[in-house]
Amino acid sequence: MAKTLSFSFLLGKVFGRFLGSLKKGQDTGEIERELPFAVMLFTLMAASGVTLYDGWKKMRSINLLPTFQKEAEEVVRQVEVLGYDPLTVMYKRAENTKSRMYRDFLAGYVSSVKSGINVVSFLKSKMRSMFETQSAASNRAIEKLGTLIEAYAVMLIVTLCAYILYVVVSSSSFFELTAGGVTGTSNFLLYLFVFLAMPMLSVLFIFIAHTARKGNILSLRECYRRALFTSFIAIGVMSVFLLMPSLQSVVSPIGMTGVATICFLIISVPPWLSYRKIAKVNFTAEESMPSFLRDVSEARKIGLSPEKSIIHASKRGAYGNFSEILGLVRSQIEWGVSLKKIFENVKKKIRSWPVLVHFFILVETIEIGGGSATALEILSEYSEKAKDIESNKRATLKPYVVLAFIWSILIALTTTIVAMTIYILGTVSLPGMTGQSGLAGAQEQMIILSVGIILQCWLSGFFIGKISEGAFAAGFKYSAILAVTAYVSLLLSQSFLMGMQAIAPT
């Protein structure tokens, strides 16, 4: 007993340390994700004559950068409440932060001010270095995500081997002992393995993917609310067919595996359609925003005012679905609406974090510094770099989606072929050992395995959605497609082997 308690304590301690290190890494990742945009904002304000400390004050109202919003609150508190010098506070923050990039930025700024170096030149150089570092870090992150996908594939292969091993062992015991079918205990263990152990492993991988891949769309609550509502409907449908055996004859053409697949589709399809509508607008905006900012910058260079530059750029009409939103922006400017109010209206239609950050920086550049051509050139240049980084990440991760379909088909085909081949061989070689009870036991076992395979493939969709697009809501599309893929693979393999049984010699 003491050894068990000691082992449990040690396991809890190790798991606590793991979660602690994961939390620290997540906090560092949030800082480094927001840092290039914060430095861009500091650079644009410095180019417009605003000091870095005044920039920290301004940062307190920017909820699009929540990590730096908290950081700004702390910097301003130590200066105005505790009476410290701003440079001293920034140097202390540099010593306390876990992020090397943030530490270098703060320490470098303090050093440049004390040595009399041009602050704007330092900030531009630091911003350029940060985007190059972020690009290299993005490539490393892609490699890590690829490794995570490969590890998940290995886990699924182990799952496949475990399915096959269980089928072989249970079938051997069945033919050696009696024609009475599989015992209740073995079915209970199969339920635990198929519907508890393996889904928990998938959930663990999904959690790891959540910490490793961040999405750009800020709020997808309506997708998840819709999924919650459809989940209750699916649970109700499944419960009716399980608790009322008389209805099972109604679904006999598709079987319980077909009912399970339909239930998974009921859960996934409505949120999928909702997410598709949101993602279409926001991904188009992410692709078009750098071009729009470049057009604004070029219009400003020829002498147009900032507002007229936005109007001129929005008339080009080459931004896809984003052109509709830019048309509303143009109309509001022409009606004399303030840029800050226009930005609040844009936030109601666009949820892409990079697009909102760049639009906000554009507004602040015009409001604070008059929208100088130099500041707008800096904004457009680094907006293009940020877009290239994100586009490269998505393009590199897209081929990994194919792996999901491969392992779904592989698990469904292999497990079914092994299970039914063993049963068919048993009926051919030992016809006296099988009967109606043996057939019922084999069918029950096959139904459990088939539903478990569809569940596993459905969960895999959320893992792939998070990896490829950074949002769990993207997983509804992949989960629905993978569930159907697994079901079709099961049908084809079972039909093929039942045909083989029909022509087998008796």
76 lies in some domain: yes
312 lies in some domain: no
CB atoms within 10 A of CB 54: 14
Mind listing the pLDDT tens digit for each residue in 395-437?
Answer: 777 777 888 888 888 888 887 777 767 666 655 555 554 444 4
CA–CA dist 496, 506 (Å, integer):
18
Question: What's the pLDDT score for residue 178?
Answer: 43
Question: What's the pLDDT score for residue 439?
Answer: 52
Question: What's the pLDDT score for residue 31?
Answer: 83
CB contact set of 406 (below 8 Å; sequence gap of 6+):
none
319 lies in some domain: no
Q: Are 376 and 308 in contact (CB under 8 A)?
A: no
Sign of CA dihedral 206, 211, 216, 222: positive
**Nearest by Cα to 48 from 362, 359, 370:** 370
313 lies in some domain: no
Tell me which residue has tokens 């304000």. Answer: 45
Which phi and psi angles does 352 have, rounded to 5°? Answer: -70, 125
CA–CA dist 155, 148 (Å, integer):
11
Q: Are 90 and 76 in contact (CB under 8 A)?
A: no
Quote the tokens at residue 401.
């989606």
DSSP 8-class letter at 49: T
DSSP 8-class letter at 81: T
Number of domains composing the chain = 1
Question: What's the pLDDT score for residue 265?
Answer: 92
3-class secondary structure, 46: helix
Quote the tokens at residue 58.
């301004």
44 lies in some domain: yes
What DSSP assignment string belongs to 215-264? -SB---HHHHHHHHHHHHHHHHHHHHHHH-GGGGGTTTTTHHHHHHHHHH
CA–CA dist 415, 77 (Å, integer):
63
CA–CA dist 456, 186 (Å, integer):
20
CA–CA dist 391, 368 (Å, integer):
31
Q: Are 33 and 212 in contact (CB under 8 A)?
A: no
Q: Are 386 and 132 in contact (CB under 8 A)?
A: no
Question: What's the pLDDT score for residue 187?
Answer: 67
DSSP 8-class letter at 472: G
What DSSP assignment string belongs to 408-442? HHHHHHHHHHHHHHHHHHHHHH-GGG--HHHHHHH
41 lies in some domain: yes
CA–CA dist 188, 198 (Å, integer):
15
431 lies in some domain: no
Half-sphere exposure for 214 (CA within 13 Å, toward CB): 15
Question: What's the pLDDT score for residue 215?
Answer: 80
Domain interval for residue 35: 29-117
Question: What's the pLDDT score for residue 121?
Answer: 80
Sign of CA dihedral 148, 154, 155, 156: positive
Which phi and psi angles does 281 have, rounded to 5°? Answer: -70, -45
**Nearest by Cα to 124 from 114, 136, 132, 116:** 132
Question: What's the pLDDT score for residue 6?
Answer: 47
Question: What's the pLDDT score for residue 248?
Answer: 61
Mind listing the pLDDT tens digit for each residue in 40-97?
Answer: 888 877 777 777 788 888 888 888 888 888 888 988 888 888 888 888 888 888 888 8
Question: What's the pLDDT score for residue 107?
Answer: 85
What DSSP assignment string belongs to 127-180? HHHHHHHHHHHHHHHHHHHHHHHHHHHHHHHHHHHHHHHHHHHHHHHHHHH-SS
Q: Are 174 and 441 in contact (CB under 8 A)?
A: yes
320 lies in some domain: no
Question: What's the pLDDT score for residue 370?
Answer: 64
The amino acid at 445? Q
CA–CA dist 138, 399 (Å, integer):
17
Question: What's the pLDDT score for residue 269?
Answer: 92
Low-confidence ranges of the chain (pLDDT < 50): 1-25, 175-185, 433-437, 502-506
CA–CA dist 310, 330 (Å, integer):
7
